[in-house]
Chain A
Amino acid sequence: MTMNTARIRRAVLPATALLSLAVLGWLALVVAPPDAVQGDAQRLMYLHVPVAWLAYLAYGVTALASLLYLLPRTRRRRWDLLAGASAEVGVVFTALTILDGSLWARPVWGIWWTWDARLVTTAVLLFLYLGYLALRRVPGTFEGRARRSAVVALIAFADVPVVHLSVIWWRTLHQQPTVLNPEFDPQIHGVMALTLLWGVVAFTVLYAALLGQRYRLASAEAEQDERLLRLALELPAATPLRTEPEPVR
């Protein structure tokens, strides 16, 4: 495969993502009717729901890749790189979820933030994975970092359901049901449903594109580290450095 075809192949996913996002913009802002109660503010839902959904997916991918790294038989460095790349996209999407949710809440609920169970869980989720990313940035050996990060990613993932349960109890046991109903109108218009569905598709493609880019960058960084190490040790370029963890017999 020549350099050019490789480049073209790499551009396919980001280009598809941009195109589907443009279509989503058109569907959400032009085609879909304004909400009967919330008016135009409701259009933020086409951004909010897919982004939140993909954040969860991203963390799921991180947990799965971390598990594969920790299991001796499947321990490969690519799982660690994938886990890190997915968590980065997940953190961006989680922050975006909180941000656009807040923007929507201001006109509709009259407030930027409320102590609703889902909001609190999402905020905790953001901090959990900010910690994970901070841990990944600490310098050290590849294997040590990968192992530490994998353990933290799995604990964080297992923590989320318990956090969610405790926050739900917290808000339902000691507080009158909030007057602010976070549900959107269940009688959803056909075009609205289609737009929302398209939003999920578009953001899934965007997630895949970002994940691919970030993964390639992380691989390139790892390779560069290795090249510099070889240079520093004055080893010929062909000398194999231990790039894969030793298989456990």
Chain B
Amino acid sequence: MAAPTGSLEAPPPLRERAGRGRGPAGRRADQRLSLLRSAALIAAKDLRIEARSRVATSQVLPFGGIVLLLAAFAIDPGRAALAGVAPGMFWTAVLLAAVLAAGRSAQLEVAGGTGDGLRLSWLDPGGVFLGKVAAIFVELLLLEAALLAVLIAVYGFRVSHPLLLLASAVSATAGISSVGVLYGAVAAALRTRETLLPLLALPVLTPEALGGTQAWTAVQQADPGDGLRWLQLLTLFACVLLSAGIAAYGALLEEE
């Protein structure tokens, strides 16, 4: 973890800091970094790691692309039929790729004892969660932009309502990233994480799969009426998941 200087000197363990305002002698509780500051530090750290390691671009992105291509092979018929199933295939590919990205993101906090570093740091646990969500969110949006190009080229996907497309992608991706980070943290330290994470995360993401697909189906049509309703559902669900994650992430960071 890239050390944010000036904020990591010998703090007490998380459990003692759980009660606000009751830090050990010589240390005021308000010296803990704020939610947003913690989030910004962690997001910048994760994105910097991604920019250097390029795992997202060299592995996750091609994976999403090949899922889209395989789905096209499986369905086979002409372009007319493909355009109809394009939104569903797109969100399936995004969900599968998101599970990979989430596993990778959680792994960053386990390898090399960084989890201990996080626990010892003055970062707000909710902020750590938000920061990791923000980083995956950015990665996934870039992935979606690339996959959208495939969708338009290979599946004959038409974009009649770009605003609805963008808004529903943002809402759905916020929800997917929240679930990914939360369940990534649940599974990260376990030996069977690769198989466990998809089983845990994908059923929870049913509303994202349905909502994203339906909203993007409306994007193709002249009248986007239903799409707005799905956008509302996606936004509501994203808010619920973000709040749940901020509340619960601290419990997952506690040491065993």
Tell me whether A and B are bound partners: yes
B157-201: which have CB < 8 Å to A?
179, 182-183, 186-187, 189-192, 196, 199-200
Q: What number of A-B contacts does a CB cutoff of 8 Å give? A: 97
Contact of A70 with B by CB under 8 A? yes
Q: A151-B186, A152-B186 are in contact. Are A140 and B256 (CB under 8 A)?
A: yes
Interchain nearest-CB distance for A249 vs B (Å) = 7
Interchain nearest-CB distance for A148 vs B (Å) = 5
Partner of B196, one of A124, A135, A163, A169: A135
Q: A127-B203, A138-B190, A138-B192 are in contact. Are A155 and B248 (CB under 8 A)?
A: yes
Contact of B114 with A by CB under 8 A? no
Contact of A165 with B by CB under 8 A? yes
Chain B: CB-nearest residue to A249? B19
Contact of A147 with B by CB under 8 A? yes
B19: chain A residues within 8 A (beta carbon): 248-249
Q: A138-B190, A138-B196, A174-B214 are in contact. Are A155 and B182 (CB under 8 A)?
A: yes
Interchain nearest-CB distance for A140 vs B (Å) = 7
Contact of B210 with A by CB under 8 A? yes
Interface size on A, residues (CB 8 A): 37
Chain B: CB-nearest residue to A150? B251
Chain B residues touching A, majority SS: helix
Contact A143 B200 (CB under 8 A): no
Contact of B152 with A by CB under 8 A? no
B206: chain A residues within 8 A (beta carbon): 124, 159, 163, 166-167
Contact A163 B186 (CB under 8 A): no
Contact of B1 with A by CB under 8 A? no
Interchain nearest-CB distance for B82 vs A (Å) = 18
Interchain nearest-CB distance for A136 vs B (Å) = 11
Interchain nearest-CB distance for B177 vs A (Å) = 14
Contact of A141 with B by CB under 8 A? yes
A197→B217 CA distance, assembly (Å): 44
A124→B202 CA distance, assembly (Å): 10
Interface size on B, residues (CB 8 A): 37
Q: A138-B191, A166-B207 are in contact. Are A158 and B196 (CB under 8 A)?
A: no
A128-163: which have CB < 8 Å to B?
128, 130-132, 134-135, 138-141, 143-144, 147-148, 150-152, 154-156, 158-159, 162-163
B206-237: which have CB < 8 Å to A?
206-207, 210-211, 214, 217, 226, 229-230, 233, 236-237
Contact B18 A169 (CB under 8 A): no
Contact of B15 with A by CB under 8 A? yes
Partner of B256, one of A138, A144, A165: A144
Q: A135-B186, A170-B210 are in contact. Are A143 and B204 (CB under 8 A)?
A: no
Contact A134 B196 (CB under 8 A): yes
Contact A166 B211 (CB under 8 A): yes
B217: chain A residues within 8 A (beta carbon): 174
Contact of B252 with A by CB under 8 A? yes
A139: chain B residues within 8 A (beta carbon): 191
Contact of A173 with B by CB under 8 A? yes
B202, B210, B229, B236 — most chain A CB neighbours (10 Å): B210
Interchain nearest-CB distance for A146 vs B (Å) = 10
A170→B212 CA distance, assembly (Å): 11
Contact A154 B248 (CB under 8 A): yes
Interchain nearest-CB distance for A145 vs B (Å) = 9
B251: chain A residues within 8 A (beta carbon): 70, 147, 150-151
A150→B211 CA distance, assembly (Å): 27
Chain B: CB-nearest residue to A142? B256
A154→B245 CA distance, assembly (Å): 11
- 19 of the cross-chain contacts (CB-CB < 8 Å) are A127-B199, A134-B199, A138-B190, A138-B191, A144-B256, A147-B254, A151-B251, A152-B183, A154-B244, A154-B248, A155-B204, A159-B203, A162-B207, A163-B207, A166-B206, A166-B210, A167-B206, A169-B214, A174-B217
Closest 5 CB pairs of A and B: A144-B256, A127-B203, A166-B207, A131-B200, A131-B199
